[in-house]
């Protein structure tokens, strides 16, 4: 059992996070499937308690999946009608939450022989796609909080990858999946949470993973 990999997934109560946790468990990892009650990514004390708990139970962490995320809904996100409280709330989870969790678990990841951080980003973060007239995103909606939070998360990913050359640190785009996240936005999507989870699962388990990349199922997403 000594070489069983230890993984922690935030936002594992449902959706893509739950599917990532299930898949990593099925592949033999010991998975801390953290729900909000275990680890609220917006709360310093909660994150600190979760890190102390993993320290006591396992003494290290091999894989951190920063999955917890919110869309912020549709109100207050359109240019000209922005509600800064909505933007702040989205950043608090999607960006500062990832920073808070990553910083808290970095000492445990440093004790792993093969540390990996996987940040669940979004294709909506791609500046390339949003500015390509041939891409649907260019003509699509223009929410300011969610895609900008994920674009900042992508830069965070790059900076951590540069700072931690012995780690694998990547951002992934799960693709548009029919989870509660999408249903709450009024979207009906066929792609399952398990399908969305696949790219993160691959990065968590593959030999010789890349680092500093933004990936989806079929390869790199243009930044």
Ligand X SMILES: NC(=O)c1ccc[n+]([C@@H]2O[C@H](COP(=O)([O-])OP(=O)(O)OC[C@H]3O[C@@H](n4cnc5c(N)ncnc54)[C@H](OP(=O)(O)O)[C@@H]3O)[C@@H](O)[C@H]2O)c1
Tokens of 113: 């022989």
> Should residue 204 be labelled a site residue for ligand X when binding is judged by CB under 6 A?
no
Stretch that binds ligand X, among 11-19, 54-62, 103-111, 129-137 (CB under 6 A): 11-19
Say how many C-beta atoms besides its own lie within 10 A of residue 59's C-beta: 10
Q: Considering only residues 7, 10, 95, 201, which one is a binding residue for ligand X as defined by CB under 6 A?
A: 10
Complete DSSP assignment for 154-214: HHHHHHHHHH-TTSEEEEE------SHHHHHTT------HHHHHHHHHHHHHSSS--SS-E
Q: How far is the CB of 86 from ligand X (least distance, A)?
A: 14
Is 146 catalytic? The answer is: yes
Say how many C-beta atoms besides its own lie within 10 A of residue 218's C-beta: 7
Stretch that binds ligand X, among 8-16, 105-113, 157-165, 205-213 (CB under 6 A): 8-16
> Should residue 221 be labelled a site residue for ligand X when binding is judged by CB under 6 A?
no
- For 121, how many CA atoms within 13 A lie in the half-sphere containing its CB? 34
Task: Please list every residue from 117 through 156 that binds ligand X, using CB under 6 A.
Answer: 120, 122
Contact residues for ligand X, defined by CB under 6 A: 10-11, 13-17, 36, 40-42, 67-70, 93, 97, 120, 122, 174, 176-177, 179-182, 193
């Amino acid at each position: 059992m000594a070489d069983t990999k230890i993984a922690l997934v935030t936002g594992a109560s449902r959706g893509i996070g739950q599917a990532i946790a299930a898949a990593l468990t099925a592949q033999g990892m010991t998975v801390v499937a953290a729900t909000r009650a275990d680890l609220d990514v917006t709360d310093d004390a909660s994150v600190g308690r979760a890190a102390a708990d993993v320290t006591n139970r396992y003494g290290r962490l091999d894989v951190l999946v920063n999955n917890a995320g919110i869309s912020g809904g549709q109100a207050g996100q359109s240019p000209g009608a922005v509600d800064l409280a909505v933007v702040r709330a989205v950043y608090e989870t999607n960006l500062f939450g990832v920073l808070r969790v990553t910083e808290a678990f970095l000492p445990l990841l440093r004790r792993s022989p093969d540390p990996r951080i996987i940040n669940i980003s979004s294709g909506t973060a791609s500046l390339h796609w949003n500015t390509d007239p041939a891409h649907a995103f260019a003509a699509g909606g223009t929410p300011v909080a969610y895609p900008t939070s994920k674009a900042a998360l992508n830069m965070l990913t790059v900076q951590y990858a540069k700072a931690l050359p012995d780690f694998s640190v990547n951002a992934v785009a799960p693709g548009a999946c029919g989870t509660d996240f999408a249903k709450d936005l009024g979207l009906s999507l066929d792609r399952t949470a398990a399908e969305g989870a696949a790219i993160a699962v691959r990065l968590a388990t593959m030999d010789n993973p890349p680092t500093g990349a933004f990936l989806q199922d079929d390869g790199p997403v243009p930044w």
